[in-house]
Every structure is written in C-alpha cells, then in structure tokens.
Amino acid sequence: MTQSHSPSATDMRVRLADWRFGLAAGVMLLALGSAASAQTVITAHGISTFGELKYPADFKHLDYVNPDAPKGGEISEWAFGGFDSMNPYSVKGRAAALSASLYESILVSPSDEIGSSYCLLCESMEYPEDRSWVIFNLRPDVRFSDGTPMTADDVVFSFQTFLKKGLTDFRTIFAQQVEGAEALGPHRVKFTFKTGIPTRDLPADVGGLPVISKADYEAHNRNLEESSLEPFLGTGPYVLDSMDVGKTITYRRNPNYWGEKLPFNVGQNNFDRIRIEYYADYNAAFEGFKAGNYTFRNEASSIQWATGYDFPAVKSGDVIKVELPDGNKANGQAFLFNLRRAKFQDPKVREAIGLMFNFEWSNATLFYDLYSRINSVWENSWLAAEGPPSPEEVAILKPLVEQKLLPESILTDPAVMAPVSGARQLDRENLRKASDLLDDAGWLVGPDGMRRNDKGETLAIEVLNDSQTFDRVINPFVENLRKLGVDAKMTHVDDAQMEARTRPPVYDFDLIVGNARSNYFSGSELKQYYGSQTADVSSFNVMGLKDKAVDQLIDVVLAAKTNDELTVATKALDRVLRNIRFWIPQWYKDKHTVAYYNMYEHPEKLPPYALGELSIWWYNPEKAAALKASGALR
C-alpha cells in the first residue's frame, strides 16, 4: 500500500515551486554594520529567524557535501500522471517536475539548519534591527543561462511580476507586506516593508523569490499567468534539454553555470542530466524501474517495499535497497474536508467521519506496520501541541475564549489526537461514537439505513481519488462510512480532472487526500495555508478554512520575537487547528525507503532535512559501466 498520496500536478507544483514562502526563515547577523539614522544597520552574508548562523562568511562548503564529488552521468526518477506546461507559477496547466529548478533566488537555505537563509545571488545583505527594509548587494558575475548578466532591474521586475500575476493567495499576502522594491544601482536592490506588520521574516521572504530575466520575458511576450512549454529564462545550474510532452523530460547541467564555484554550491549539482519519466500508476512505474527505464526510486508503497524487491537485480546487488534516515517533520498527509460544503459545517459531522478511518487496521493489514499516525500539523517536531495547554499557551488562548471564538475547553483539554481503532476493519466502539455524533448533528438514520437531515437530504460523501494504489486505503474507509449510514463513494479521476476540481475557484470535492502544510519557523505562509483571506483563492488552503481564532493566532505567530515565543504560539495554533478537525490525519515514516541502480554514491552523513539525491549524490562511471556490461542496464 502506498505510503504517501500519489503527487498530482498541484502537489508537484507545490513541492517543486515552494518559492512562495518556503525560504521564509531568515538568518541572523554575523557582522556588525554601521549606524544609520536611529538604528544599527546590520551587514551580513545571511539572516536568521533567531540565533546565529551555523556557517561563517568564509565557509568553504556545506558540512554534508562531498567537496570532491565528481561531475557527470545521469540520474532518472519517475513522476505520476503527465505534464503540459513548463510554468510552475500558474494554476493553468500541469507543470513538469523540477520546472522550478531552472530559477534561483537571492537567498537559499541549507538542509542541515532550520530558520536560516544565506546569500546566493547576493554578496551581502543590509537591514536594520527592526527589519523594516532590506538591501541586497547582488553579485556582479551572476548570469542567466543564455550568458546575459542579471541586474537589480531583473530582481525588481521579477518581484513586480509575481505581485501582479503570481498565485492569487501569494499576491494577497505580499501586497499587504511589501511597500515596494527599487533598484539602487545595477547590483543593489532595496525592499521596503509596510509599517504596522511583523517584519521578522520579510527579508528572507523577499530573498526567497525566484528571479527571471526581464529582457527575455518582454522580448518573447511571456505571461506568468499562462501555461507554456517555453520556460522563462533563469540563472539556475540546470536548463531544459528535451521533452516528450506528458511522458518524459530531461534537464542538463549548464557547463557555463555562473555559480559553480560558490561555497554553497561546492559538492552539489553533480549530475550532467536529470531525467523524469511519467507513469499513469504506481504498478507501471515499479515495472519501469525493474526494467531499468529509470534508475532511482523513493518507494511510496509499503507493500512493494515489503514484498516487491525480490527481483534478480536486487539479489545480485545491481539494485541497492536501503532505508536512510529522515529527520523532517511529517508532511501533514491527510484526508481534507471541503469546508465550503454545508454538510461539513458542523464539527460533529467531521469528527464522526474521522472515526471511521481505521489507521491501526490499515497499518497492520496494508502497510506492514511501516508507519506512525499523524496527530499534529507539526508532527515529529518540538512544535506539536501535547497534553493540556501550558500556562504560556493559555495566556494566548484565553483572550480568544473571552471573545467567544474558542470553547472554554480549549484551555484545559488535552490536544486533539487521532482516534485509536481496534484490530478489525470496523471498530464497533468508534462506530457507536460516530453514530451518536451524527444523531446530535441532526443526521438521523432512515428506513433504508441512510442518514438524512431535516430537509430529507442524505449525508452523501464523495472521496476523489487519482491513484489506483490508494483504492486499498479508501475502499475500507468507504465501507465503514456506509455502515454508519453515510452515502459514501469513491470516484476515480485522472490527474487533470483532480487539478480541475480542486484548484481555485472551483473546489468541487467533498474529501481528497492532500497535506496540512507547515514550516518549522512559520511565517506569512500560514495565511496561505490557513488564513480566511485566501480561503477561496488559495492553492494551499484547499479545505477552505475560515476561522477568526486561527487568523488571530497566525498574527501571534508572526509577531513572535524569540524562539520560545514562536514555539508557544505555534503550539497554540496547532491545538486550535486540530480542534477544528478540518482533516482526517493519515501517516508518516521517519526514514527514506529508496532503491537505486548501483552506480550512485552519497556523502557518508546525509543532512537531516533532505535526501538530496538530485544534488549532493554523484555518479560512479565504473559502476555504471559494470551494470551495462552485465546487462542490468541498457
């Protein structure tokens, strides 16, 4: 059974184009600046949310890379479905995997540090203590992939284009935060932030935006809002090599990449080519791997991992099967309710439906006990709410209780945990609890065994599914719901239909498998994920969550000035989100289950927050030649 939901084009876009706010962690000062006006201006090679940077200004390379890793060869992986666009920044079309890798941002974050961003396109950055503005001193040697220089005008143009034509939820939030951007010179750009809002994360937020070529965009009449198979011009280490639309796409390393010798890039970007093969389902993809059609697989099926890797290439050692540590927090995988639907307005209904998903039975019967249950939006991290709220959390939550935005029980009750079920598919005790909840909510069982409200409407629930391998999870869930009197069904859709029915402004679904997203040091992205303002325009707040208490708590998180304050505020927010029951949390594992043809090598100690196979791993030509000589690879 699948470990994780098969990635739709939207999922892929979210993961690979996480430029929005994914680098919103900033890095603290390491160098003292000079006095300017009434504030000290800090000049540094990066910025941190809290504390100091791990890497000094003169660092030679990241700790987790092999600085002598050779360049060359190809690595290939698979993706689900298909693609018809090279624009990862539009809701139109299905963007190709890794299409965002062609672009770089001013700041980048390492994979062994949380809450830090370092200069990549810049040599240094300047900002006052209150972070009300930031100046980036750009590297004069940065070049787009066609060899033309990148300047401050390109940075300003990119920002203004994303502000006008970027994803709607992104535009909504950034317009409230950034006063403007201006070029102070050919290689000097300033962002000024609006007053009266938290600015803790904003220098890193704007530094995390991708930069595209103004001249190329205008000369070719490009449009950020439109689907296109012609990529924008970026500065990244890889460029588009070839594609068979919807089937395969290959990127090649740019031999003239401007930043190859930068300390941050030493030991990275090691493959000459990265190829992605598309498959319509997991089984076909697995057979493709066995046949050598692609060479690296991050296994997402527990049954395949447990029983499928007995083919000759594994037994001979031509294919390596290994579990590698994964220190990331859980990805928030869950069934997500469409809260825009009237039938899901009552939290008792949502709780009752959640009681019918039996994780314990699924894990034992389908998953070979490979997974753990997700309970928190920040699962597998120190930010997850635990037990009753601490006094510090109570101090944050109590004003919201006094405003009648939260129940008084939130001040004393333990954090909501996912229900525990028995060894049988249908847990009778949970069935009784769910039945009582639906009775209380006015959904009563009729003569035909189906539940109806006072208008005579049946409680009908459609679970959209774009992955056949997920049938074995959803079908038992649907069966349990029908035993409860819910008119439940699963509907198969392809990835294009899934995109069309779940993107704004359509949102035509009851339940889907998605992710409750979060970052370690959360910032403005929370308004995209859970804020009321973006609920009907967001590609990330797919469930349409609108809650005044959540909105206020997001502001508390944004205003946190210390790590301790941020931790307490995040736990309080997590507690409230879980109490809303906008989701039915699923599962996660704390290791990477990977298989690859024995021609790749990696640093002895991988970073805690990334597998990094496309960047810090490398190709061994002697091993590759041996595989080809033996017939294991063509």
Burial class of 332 by CB neighbour count within 10 A (0 to 12, 13 to 18, 19+): buried
Q: How high is the pLDDT of residue 174?
A: 81
pLDDT in tens, 154-188: 999 999 999 999 877 777 778 889 999 999 999 99
Which CATH superfamily is 334-588 part of? Answer: Dipeptide-binding Protein; Domain 3 (3.10.105.10)
Q: What is the pTM of this model?
A: 0.83
Sorted by sequence, the CB contacts under 8 Å of residue 364 that are 6+ apart come out as 423
How, if at all, do strands 451-452 and 444-445 pair? antiparallel
Domain made up of 1-29+64-327+590-634: CATH architecture: 3-Layer(aba) Sandwich (3.40)
Q: How high is the pLDDT of residue 101?
A: 95
Compute the residue count for the chain. Answer: 634
DSSP labels, 169-216: HHHHHHHHHEEEEEEEETTEEEEEEPTTS--TTHHHHHHTSEE--HHH
In a 13 Å sphere around the CA of 537, the CA atoms on its Cβ side amount to 15
CB 302 within 8 A of CB 102: no
pLDDT in tens, 513-558: 999 999 998 888 899 999 999 899 888 899 999 999 999 999 999 9
* Rounded Cα distance, 370 and 141, in Å: 48
| Every domain of the chain and the residues it spans | 1-29+64-327+590-634, 334-588
3-state per-residue secondary structure call for 405-435? CCCHHHHCCCCCCCCCCCCCCCCHHHHHHHH
Q: How high is the pLDDT of residue 612?
A: 96
Identify the segments of the chain with pLDDT beneath 50.
Answer: 1-37
- The token duo for 584 is 């039915």
Nearest partner of 103 among 204, 275, 224, judged by Cα: 224
pLDDT in tens, 253-304: 999 999 999 999 999 999 999 999 999 888 999 999 999 999 999 998 888 9
* Rounded Cα distance, 584 and 474, in Å: 12
Q: How high is the pLDDT of residue 38?
A: 57
User: b/e per residue, 396-407, with b = 16+ CB within 10 A?
Assistant: bbeebbeeebbe
